[in-house]
């Protein structure tokens, strides 16, 4: 699998000279494998550039998976060129109980009020797959599982297997245990932690929401985001090889993210780095 980060910022896009090093676009991650249709996680503003790239390539289908519908994960959808490209097959997976609910949730953003285009008028062929926690499906070479995360209004994390490679996309989510409890406190995992550890078991790569520092988390415990030490503790318990810190704080400047990256650069089991907009990572040998 090949993973490309098109947007790594949390909550709101942050254009400007202070963020151009790590990137100011909001969440969007592309996963490619074996020349097949790509998987795309979330459609933040990073999806705009991804869309231009995709329509310049020979393929005419893609799988788009939403973690949830907070705006930073949807901003880019109305500007994602494949949906305006006749003949493009856009298959959208959405946390929902039915196809109608899935269509209605995304349709709130494309209803003629918040954007001039309406969902039903899109020239591409757009279809919806509702999914819930603990469900899975197979598309092309990808086997995909979903798990509920700890976020206001709910969010789904996804685990993807293709060939002998495994990755997971876990955003937006707060710790599953209170401060002083669970694995980040050096204790046994609480029940919800045991679930996510099992979900991430043996992943080669995990992309994890670490928007806050520990101190920021203590001030905003109900806001639904994690901190690096917590993601590291979960990934270590799950035997994850590599952790990518993701969904960076809008206020974090390049200098601050450089510092964070430097602070974690020597960590092993898991290896830890910050996700950077424009970065591509290869998992294992390409077939
Ligand atoms: Zn978010
Ligand atoms: Zn959110």
- List the domain boundaries for the chain: 2-282
Two structure tokens written together for 223: 């806001």
DSSP string for 161-200: EETTEEEEEE-S---SS-TTSSGGGTSPPPHHHHHHHHHH
Q: Can you tell me the mean pLDDT for 72-91?
A: 98
pLDDT at 213 over 90: yes
SS3 117: coil
Residue count (the chain): 287
**Distance from Cα 137 to the centre of ligand 1, integer Å:** 24
Reported confidence tier of residue 284, pLDDT bands at 50, 70, 90: confident
**Distance from Cα 86 to the centre of ligand 1, integer Å:** 30
Sign of the C-alpha dihedral computed for residues 219, 17, 2 and 99 taken in this order: positive
Per-residue pLDDT at 226: 98
pLDDT at 246 over 90: yes
Cα separations in angstroms, 5 against 53, 55, 152: 13, 18, 25
**Distance from Cα 97 to the centre of ligand 1, integer Å:** 22
Per-residue pLDDT at 35: 87
Q: Can you tell me the mean pLDDT for 215-243?
A: 98
**Distance from Cα 172 to the centre of ligand 2, integer Å:** 5
Q: Which ligand is nearest to the CA of 224?
A: 2
Q: Can you tell me the mean pLDDT for 78-97?
A: 98
Q: Is domain 2-282 given the CATH code 3.60.15.10 in the classification?
A: yes
pLDDT at 222 over 80: yes
Q: What are phi and psi of 237, to 5 degrees?
A: -65, -30
Q: Which ligand is nearest to the CA of 73?
A: 1
Name the percent of the chain lying above pLDDT 70: 99
pLDDT at 287 over 50: no
**Distance from Cα 114 to the centre of ligand 2, integer Å:** 19
Q: Which ligand is nearest to the CA of 27?
A: 1
**Distance from Cα 73 to the centre of ligand 1, integer Å:** 6
pLDDT, tens digit, 9 for 90 and up, residues 100-141: 999 999 999 999 999 999 999 999 999 999 999 999 999 999
**Distance from Cα 171 to the centre of ligand 1, integer Å:** 7
Q: Which helix (H) or strand (E) holds 30?
A: strand 28-32
**Distance from Cα 34 to the centre of ligand 2, integer Å:** 31
pLDDT, tens digit, 9 for 90 and up, residues 21-54: 999 999 999 999 998 899 999 999 999 999 999 9
Mean pLDDT of the chain: 96
**Distance from Cα 163 to the centre of ligand 2, integer Å:** 31
Bridge partners (DSSP) listed for residue 162: 165
Per-residue pLDDT at 9: 98
- CA–CA gap between residue 263 and residue 9 (Å, rounded): 19
CB 217 within 8 A of CB 253: no
Bridge partners (DSSP) listed for residue 184: none
Using DSSP, how many helices (H) and how many strands (E) does the chain show? Answer: 6, 14
**Distance from Cα 76 to the centre of ligand 1, integer Å:** 13
Per-residue pLDDT at 285: 60
């Amino acid at each position: 699998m090949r993973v490309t980060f098109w947007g790594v910022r949390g909550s709101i896009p942050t254009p400007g000279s202070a963020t151009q090093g790590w990137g100011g676009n909001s969440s969007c991650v592309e996963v490619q494998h074996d020349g097949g249709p790509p998987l795309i996680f979330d459609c933040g503003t990073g999806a705009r550039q991804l869309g231009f790239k995709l329509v310049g390539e020979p393929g005419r289908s893609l799988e788009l998976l939403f973690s949830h519908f907070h705006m930073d994960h949807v901003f880019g959808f109305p500007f994602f060129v494949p949906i305006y490209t006749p003949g493009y097959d856009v298959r959208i997976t959405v946390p929902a109980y039915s196809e109608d609910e899935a269509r209605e949730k995304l349709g709130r953003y494309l209803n003629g009020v918040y954007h001039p285009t309406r969902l039903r008028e899109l020239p591409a062929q757009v279809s919806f797959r509702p999914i819930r926690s603990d469900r899975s499906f197979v598309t092309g070479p990808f086997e995909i599982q979903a798990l509920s995360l700890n976020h206001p209004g709910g969010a789904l994390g996804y685990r993807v297997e293709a060939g002998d490679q495994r990755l997971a996309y876990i955003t937006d989510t707060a710790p599953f245990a209170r401060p002083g409890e669970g694995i980040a406190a050096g204790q046994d995992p609480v029940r919800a932690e045991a679930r996510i550890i099992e979900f991430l078991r043996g992943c080669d790569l995990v992309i994890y929401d670490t928007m806050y520092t520990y101190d920021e988390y203590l001030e905003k415990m109900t806001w639904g985001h994690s901190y690096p030490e917590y993601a590291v503790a979960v990934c270590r318990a799950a035997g994850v090889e590599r952790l990518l810190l993701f969904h960076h704080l809008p206020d974090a400047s390049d200098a601050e993210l450089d510092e964070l990256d430097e602070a974690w650069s020597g960590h092993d089991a898991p290896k830890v780095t910050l996700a950077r907009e424009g970065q591509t990572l290869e998992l294992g040998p390409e077939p």
